[in-house]
Amino acid sequence: MGAGRTALRVLLAAIALAALGPAPQAAPLEDLTTLPFEQLLGSEVTDAAQFARRITDAASAVSVVTAQDIRDHGVRTLSEALDLMRGLHMTYVGYAFLGERGFGGRAGFAGRVMLFIDGIPAVDNLYDQVFLTHDALIDVALIDRIEYAPGSGSALYGNNAYLGVINIVTKRGRDLDGLQAQVSGASWRDQGTRASWGRRLGDEAEVLLSATRQRDNGIAVADAGRNVTDPAVGAQSEQFFVKARWGRLDVQGMLAQRYVLDRRDASSHDDHMDRNQVLSLNHDVPLNDEWTLGTRLTLGQYGFRSNSETETDSFAVRQDGVWWQLDQRLAFSGQRHRLALGFQARRDPVLRDLDTFVSKEDGSTSTGSWYEHRRAVGVSIEDEFRWRPQWRVTVGARWDHRSASPSAVSPRLALVWAPPEGPWSAKLSQGRATRFASATERMFADGESRPLEHVTTQELVGEYRRDGLRALTSLYRYRTTQLISDAFAYGAVRAEGIETELEWQWEGWRVRASHAWQHARATSGLPMVQSPDRVGKLQVSAPLGSERWRLSLSARTTGTLSMPAEDDSLIRMPATAVLDLTLVARSLMPGVDVRWGVRNATGSRTQAMRQFDAQPGGASMARQWWCDLVWSLR
């Protein structure tokens, strides 16, 4: 493509020119202490090596992606951010699905990872699905950090925290401190706009407001393949975000909706829409120096609409889920103990599916409906006991009860050795997590009861940190009871694996490499779908002359995997390797940052998918050029 070659040449020229510029001048400390205070504050600094801190309290191998990673690697969706993390892999089959430690993709695995945004559960209550592209409740531009804690988290977080927990912390009003506007454009008809405003309004109040609109060709990410290129197919997404603090009260509202319209034939269409919205109120009160009481009320709603029409018939699906949840946390923080008591009451008053089929040939109409409501309650307790400066043990358990289901207890035990002076640390953990069948799994069961699903996880993590070097190794073993799966009768699953990660930071360079070997097998002998035996990641980010210019590279390899085809037969997909490049220019003009990037820079054409099913030889990944501009007015 001529435009692509021109753009590539100009991009390379820009990189070369930036790289040829003089190296940044690092003034010695003796000079700096003699400079006037005002001059110090007006000077630009190079990034210091600093490994991202973790806020997730888990004894597993937690991965962190920060706003800096999001900016420098040109991350535009939550799925792309998670795809930077060790051992995780994404598959795109209509929606983006997260794969972890041998469990991946659709076929029901969506409901086995919990997602929190600022502590607010962000999972729909019909499919228990996490939305990770432009249908997500959050625009990645508003994210301060993402943490992924693999392993059973049910002892603390309850249902869904079965194979892992994703914690997202969003930016605060002070992080924007004014108005911010973003426009982006990319090949394959991708374009987006965002407007955000945030400010600290005195000691008591802080506000952040944001609205995002995105249009694309029906597939939100470049990795999903580019088979849908017909101009008659398109999608539009909208995300709205409000976060406000008034004293000790936090209010947060999030709404995301995505329409995909497929009008390829004059006589037929196939459209669908997802909408998620959540409103949360949180209040934290310190009772004294050691005890804190927190209360959170969350209201959520999910809606799915689908309308398909052919020359002979039409089919409409209308699904709705409404829920509210009250969480109370009583926390004690003493010299040796950190105790957390939790209580949760939840109600899902609306879980509904209405299907209408109309035959144009004989004019007949048939409808199907399913309706349910449910209640749930959970109680948790966890104590972290530090008996030596370098040793601590965590013991916890959670009891969950849900209407029309048996009760479940999820225990957790962790032992951590971490000398304050470092550089070595080790964590050993064992836990058991419970998963209740999702509403749609109960719906598809046609009245038959669904057993609970349990997983027992064991993990040993060793970590080394010194100066700019961090190395981590994790060995894990998972054992599940019979999995709930409508598509495949897996039976129980055993999975084990080894993950290694190496991170190095020096003079503005940041390098992170990881490799995960994983092996999951079902007792039924069926191969696990979307379960590659290895996942490799490499991220390199380097300043070009100064911190004003930065070039980043992100490479991902995924081993061979099985994908379900339209008839639920399995297709073996070849291994993939994808390379993304991003060039960031900061303060190109006052308040203006610009990013250019190319996804799948090598034009790898190894993986193929259709909109909802695997199909070798059909679609292929394509190179995608993109550019965005962020203007900040403070």
Q: Can residue 37 be called a binding residue for another protein (CB under 8 A)?
A: yes
Which is nearest to 108 in space by CA: 583, 513, 439? Answer: 439
Task: Rank residues 289 and 361 by Cβ distance to another protein and give the closer one.
Answer: 289
Choice from 362, 421, 448, 567 touching another protein (CB under 8 A): 421
Task: Rank residues 99 and 597 by Cβ distance to another protein and give the closer one.
Answer: 597
Please give the angle made by the CA atoms of 81, 623 and 74, to the nearest 5 degrees. Answer: 30
Minimum distance between the CB of residue 611 and another protein, rounded to whole angstroms? 21
**Displacement of CA 311 from its chain's centroid (Å):** 40
Residues 496-555 that bind another protein (CB under 8 A): 545-549
Token pair of 31, please? Answer: 């000079």
Nearest-angstrom CA–CA distance, 61 and 59: 7
Choice from 118, 191, 324, 482 touching another protein (CB under 8 A): 191
Kindly write out the interface string for residues 60-99 of this chain, putting x where it contacts another protein by CB under 8 A and - elsewhere. Answer: ----------------------------------------
In this structure, are residues 123 and 164 in contact, taking their beta carbons and an 8 Å threshold? no
Kindly write out the interface string for residues 276-315 of this chain, putting x where it contacts another protein by CB under 8 A and - elsewhere. Answer: -------------x--------------------------
Count, residues in the chain: 634
Choice from 333, 390, 473, 557 touching another protein (CB under 8 A): 333
Minimum distance between the CB of residue 290 and another protein, rounded to whole angstroms? 9
Q: Can residue 177 be called a binding residue for another protein (CB under 8 A)?
A: yes
Q: Can residue 189 be called a binding residue for another protein (CB under 8 A)?
A: yes
Choice from 27, 201, 345, 445 touching another protein (CB under 8 A): 27
Q: Can residue 21 be called a binding residue for another protein (CB under 8 A)?
A: yes
Residues 247-276 that bind another protein (CB under 8 A): 247-248
Choice from 82, 437, 585, 609 touching another protein (CB under 8 A): 585
Task: Rank residues 157 and 626 by Cβ distance to another protein and give the closer one.
Answer: 626
Minimum distance between the CB of residue 518 and another protein, rounded to whole angstroms? 31
Segment near another protein (CB under 8 A); pick from 6-14, 121-129, 513-521, 559-567: 6-14
Nearest-angstrom CA–CA distance, 243 and 119: 13
Task: Rank residues 427 and 537 by Cβ distance to another protein and give the closer one.
Answer: 427
Residue holding tokens 């409901």?
Answer: 111
Choice from 266, 267, 361, 420 touching another protein (CB under 8 A): 420
Token pair of 597, please? Answer: 């990037």
Please give the angle made by the CA atoms of 10, 15 and 18, to the nearest 5 degrees. Answer: 120
Number of residues that bind another protein (CB under 8 A): 72
Minimum distance between the CB of residue 579 and another protein, rounded to whole angstroms? 19
Beta bridge partners of 211: 195, 240
Q: Does 527 sit behind a cis peptide bond, omega within 30 degrees of 0 on the bond before it?
A: no
Minimum distance between the CB of residue 110 and another protein, rounded to whole angstroms? 33
Nearest-angstrom CA–CA distance, 61 and 514: 12
Phi, psi angle pair for 310, to nearest 5°? -120, -175
Segment near another protein (CB under 8 A); pick from 198-206, 301-309, 371-379, 435-443: 198-206
In this structure, are residues 92 and 104 in contact, taking their beta carbons and an 8 Å threshold? no
Determine the 3-state secondary structure of 25 from DSSP: coil
User: Distances from the Cα of 448 to the Cαs of 185, 351, 490, 589, in angstroms?
Assistant: 49, 17, 18, 63
Token pair of 520, please? Answer: 């999951």
In this structure, are residues 628 and 75 in contact, taking their beta carbons and an 8 Å threshold? no
Task: Rank residues 393 and 627 by Cβ distance to another protein and give the closer one.
Answer: 627
Nearest-angstrom CA–CA distance, 281 and 283: 7
Q: Can residue 43 be called a binding residue for another protein (CB under 8 A)?
A: yes
SS3 track for 564-620 = ECCCCCEEEECCEEEEEEEEEEEEEECCEEEEEEEECCCCCCCCCECCCCECCCCCC
> DSSP state, 37?
H
Choice from 200, 347, 477, 494 touching another protein (CB under 8 A): 200
Residue holding tokens 């019979």?
Answer: 482
Q: Can residue 33 be called a binding residue for another protein (CB under 8 A)?
A: yes
Segment near another protein (CB under 8 A); pick from 196-204, 309-317, 573-581, 615-623: 196-204
Segment near another protein (CB under 8 A); pick from 99-107, 416-424, 450-458, 562-570: 416-424
Q: Can residue 316 be called a binding residue for another protein (CB under 8 A)?
A: no
Kindly write out the interface string for residues 441-480 of this chain, putting x where it contacts another protein by CB under 8 A and - elsewhere. Answer: --------------------------x-------------
Segment near another protein (CB under 8 A); pick from 19-27, 310-318, 482-490, 605-613: 19-27
Which is nearest to 241 in space by CA: 139, 121, 134? Answer: 139
Segment near another protein (CB under 8 A); pick from 146-154, 259-267, 397-405, 583-591: 583-591
Which is nearest to 520 in space by CA: 184, 102, 124? Answer: 102
In this structure, are residues 313 and 300 in contact, taking their beta carbons and an 8 Å threshold? no
Q: Can residue 174 be called a binding residue for another protein (CB under 8 A)?
A: yes
Segment near another protein (CB under 8 A); pick from 27-35, 131-139, 398-406, 473-481: 27-35
Q: Can residue 26 be called a binding residue for another protein (CB under 8 A)?
A: yes
Choice from 24, 119, 411, 462 touching another protein (CB under 8 A): 24
Q: Can residue 625 be called a binding residue for another protein (CB under 8 A)?
A: yes
Q: Can residue 42 be called a binding residue for another protein (CB under 8 A)?
A: yes
> Which residues lie closer than 8 Å to 391 by C-beta, 6 or more apart?
415, 416, 417
Minimum distance between the CB of residue 507 and another protein, rounded to whole angstroms? 9
Choice from 5, 335, 361, 617 touching another protein (CB under 8 A): 335
> Which residues lie closer than 8 Å to 12 by C-beta, 6 or more apart?
none
**Displacement of CA 487 from its chain's centroid (Å):** 25
Minimum distance between the CB of residue 17 and another protein, rounded to whole angstroms? 4
> DSSP state, 482?
S
Choice from 587, 603, 606, 612 touching another protein (CB under 8 A): 587
Rg for the chain, CA atoms, rounded: 25
Minimum distance between the CB of residue 175 and another protein, rounded to whole angstroms? 8
Residues 221-240 that bind another protein (CB under 8 A): 231
Task: Rank residues 46 and 310 by Cβ distance to another protein and give the closer one.
Answer: 46
Minimum distance between the CB of residue 131 and another protein, rounded to whole angstroms? 26
Nearest-angstrom CA–CA distance, 268 and 309: 5
Burial class (CB in 10 A: 0-12, 13-18, 19+), 27: exposed
Minimum distance between the CB of residue 485 and another protein, rounded to whole angstroms? 41
Strands (E), 467-529: 469-480, 493-506, 509-522
How far is the first Cα of the chain from the last one, in angstroms, to the nearest whole number? Answer: 40
